[in-house]
Amino acid sequence: MQRLSFYDEISANKRNSYILVFLVFVFAFAAAYVFSLVLFGESLFGLLFTFVASSAYIYFTYSNADKILLGFSGAREAKKEEFPYLVNVVEGLSIAAGIPTPKIYVIDDPAMNAFATGLSPQKASVAFTTGLLSNLNRAELEGVAAHEISHIKNYDSRLATLMVVMVGLIAILSDVGLRMMFRSRNLRSGKGGGAFILLGLVVLILAPFIAQIVRLALSRRREYLADATAAQLTRYPEGLASALEKIKKVGSAVKNASDASAPIYFANPISVGQLFSTHPPIDERIRRLRSM
């Protein structure tokens, strides 16, 4: 079996992630442009209004996403008196990663899962289910915690939040644009007439679907990146691989997870087909870890 380098794996995943992020922004721009044409015609004011309103939506949703997620998941703060083992592991790995210790939370759920959230390492949080804590030994817990710390270190939590917000914006623009398209004379009266209508339909129908597929592909890329960074951090890929094997047997479906929150979890918290999965196959993650 060919041995993989931590650094090669990290570099390849970062490069592919940049390409996928760029694609999501392209689809967002296309949807916003068509939306502006439908509602305002070829108007500079309409285009500026659309982009200002879209930017405001992105800012306010993005800024409050971590608070919403922690509240929705039912997470409670992990006190050191109650969870000394967990707190010590997270504190030690944070020091090793060179980031501030994130706020630590516990979710009362028998499923085995965890997540990291926050827009920067200075304002980050990690949460672990009680099912995860009760089923893993120290090496395995260190592997999972290192994976979540890696998400914070690599700014994956920020990126995942931004992608969820961007895809949500594209869906809103497309939905409203499609509803208004056949009532609007702006496209029909513009240059190209019917060609503009056809092109607008294609953009508004396909943009949300393709952007969602790209977001999920990006999420899978960042999971591989966090696995590789965690292995580099602990210098013991087997701990994380063993944790993944246990999670595959016990299950990772969290009761309060949703499609929007799924990308930030350690393992897929909802049951979907692989094309629409936020995470790569567990077997492939294990294979990659054991090839390092």
**Distance, CA of 219 to CA of 246 (rounded, Å):** 22
Crossing angle for the helix pair 194-234 and 138-153, to the nearest 10 degrees: 130
Task: Tell how strand 103-107 and strand 114-117 pair up.
Answer: unpaired
Helices (H) and strands (E) in the chain, counts: 10, 4
State yes or no: is 284 an active-site residue. no
Q: How many CB atoms lie within 10 A of CB 123?
A: 15
**How far is 256 from 44, CA to CA, in rounded Å?**
43
What residues form DSSP beta bridges with 80?
A: none
Q: What is the signed CA dihedral for 204, 210, 212, 218, rounded to 10 degrees?
A: -140
Helix, strand, coil shares of the chain as percentages rounded to 5?
70, 5, 25
d(CA 164, CA 173): 14
Among the options 9, 142, 148, 223, which is catalytic?
A: 148
Active-site residue set: 148
